[in-house]
Amino acid sequence: MSGRDLFCQPRRIRRGAALTLVFASVLVAGAATGSFPEADRGDGKSSSDAARSAAPAGHHQDVAEAAEEAKADGASPMEAAERAVSRSGDRWGAVYSRGEYEEFEEALDGQYTGVGLWARRERDGRIEVTRVSSDSPAAFAGIRKGDQLRSVDGEKVDGHPVTEVVSLLRGDATDAAAGTTVRLGLERGTRAWTMTVRRALLSTDSVTVRELAGGITVIKIDSFTKGVGGQVRDAVREAPADGGIVLDLRGNSGGLVTEAVTTASVFLDGGLVATYDVDGSQQALHAEPGGDTTRALVALVDGGTMSAAELLTGALQDRGRAVVVGSRTFGKGSVQMPSRLPDGAVAELTVGHYRTPSGRGVDGRGITPDLEADEGALRQAETVLGGLGD
């Protein structure tokens, strides 16, 4: 989309949605309770690894059988699994290569392999660098915000979707690892040059904090990677005691549900966060007691607020803890679970759905904000906080 900053977005909408919006095994095998056990089970795998390898009932079995039959016939198990997922009608079902899934797990750990560039497509189709991560290969190479990216490994990128450009930068097609190189064609004013940059394993900045006039603290969460809940808790503790909080969830595509629940615990004194079902078994997620329940709080959302971010928004709204400002959220409230295929690929398939504390289903519906706002949503949030403070 022209003018919209994107970073590390997956290469295909269907596949990418399941990657970035995934509930995966954080909603099974006890992880949903807030525990993420890492003790060795005696077979070289942690408990969370076992959860990721577990295969639920239903169409997981159909996909697994298709992959096994393909392997026996000398065909590609991954391609056979992809066809089975497509036939199943599972909107969020997808199949990933071993490298893609490892990349996804890195992202949930707050890491990714790349060069450290954010980019967007301008109206004329050119790809402009909008941000360069500090201490990244791109920064060390002298690339700056505002530079034009014209080619990646000799392939011209003008007019390409930003998602495809990012995929080229990361080397997704070849599962490129840290240490591999990528050749970039760049322009700055009248200067044009080509340079080779070496990819690296970088850390994401999932939480950013800034203070506005009047002591209002804006906490922006881009995704729920590991450690995000703790970062939000620290930010609230360090915020001015008499100031309100804006929890900016716009464009947040989801992530680890455990981190979303931890974030809810920052603002709630225990109680229900969400319920969910996995293959018909009903479960519940609860906040930890002792959260800050007195600060004025506004949650900012939009059509890019998805999955775990919607779970958090629904909890704060239903519990009367936050005023939700913005536009209707995306509406991804399904639970996915992974299973390994014979060639090491991974199938992610839908096994259930979650609901907000009041019992609202989110999938396909989204969450309607208390106050509709598009342009100027942050200003609207400041106004709301002023009224709540009074």
Give the separation between CA 239 and CA 241, rounded to whole angstroms.
6
CB under 8 Å to 75, separation ≥6 — which residues? none
Alpha-carbon distance of 285 to 158, in angstroms, equals 46
Q: C-alpha 165: how far from its chain's center?
A: 19
The predicted-structure confidence for 143-187, as pLDDT tens digits, reads as follows: 999 999 999 999 999 998 777 888 899 887 787 889 999 999 999
Is the pLDDT reported for residue 84 higher than 90?
A: no
How far is residue 37's CA from residue 30's CA, in Å, rounded to a whole number?
Answer: 9
Give which of 352, 141, 110 is closest to 222, Cα–Cα. Answer: 110
Give the residue range(s) of CATH 3.90.226.10 domains in the chain. Answer: 207-333+351-389
For residue 3, the tally of other CB atoms under 10 A from its CB is: 10
CATH of 112-203 among 2.60.40.10, 3.40.50.720, 3.40.640.10, 2.30.42.10: 2.30.42.10
Report the 10 Å Cβ neighbour count for 347. Answer: 31
Q: Is the pLDDT of residue 42 over 90?
A: no
Query: Pick from 5, 27, 24, 1: which is nearest to 13 by CA?
Result: 1
- Non-local CB neighbours of 390 within 8 Å, separated by 6+ positions: none
Tokens of 389: 């403070």
Closest C-alpha among 12, 43, 48 to residue 32: 48
338-347: average pLDDT: 86
CB 87 within 8 A of CB 80: no
Q: pLDDT over 90 for what percent of the chain?
A: 47
The correct answer on CATH 3.90.226.10 for the domain covering 207-333+351-389 is: yes
Give the torsion through C-alpha atoms of 142, 148, 154, 155, to 10 deg: 140
**Distance, CA of 24 to CA of 115 (rounded, Å):** 27
pLDDT at 2 (0 to 100): 25
Q: Rounded mean pLDDT of the chain? A: 81
Sole residue written with tokens 């089970």: 41
> What pLDDT does residue 382 have?
93
Which residue intervals of the chain bear CATH 2.30.42.10? 112-203
Mean pLDDT highest for which of 32-46, 58-72, 133-147, 161-175? 133-147
> How large is the greatest C-alpha to C-alpha distance in the chain, in angstroms?
71
pLDDT computed for residue 389 by the predictor: 54
Out of 60-74, 143-157, 173-187, 293-307, least confident range:
60-74
* pLDDT tier, 59 (very low <50, low <70, confident <90, very high otherwise): low
Residue 113 has pLDDT above 80, yes or no: yes
**What is residue 46's predicted lDDT score, i.e. its pLDDT?**
32
What is the pLDDT averaged over residues 23-33?
A: 28
User: What's this model's pTM, rounded to 2 decimal places?
Assistant: 0.70
Q: For residue range 236-274, what is the model confidence (pLDDT) as tens digits?
A: 999 998 899 999 999 898 888 999 999 999 999 999 999
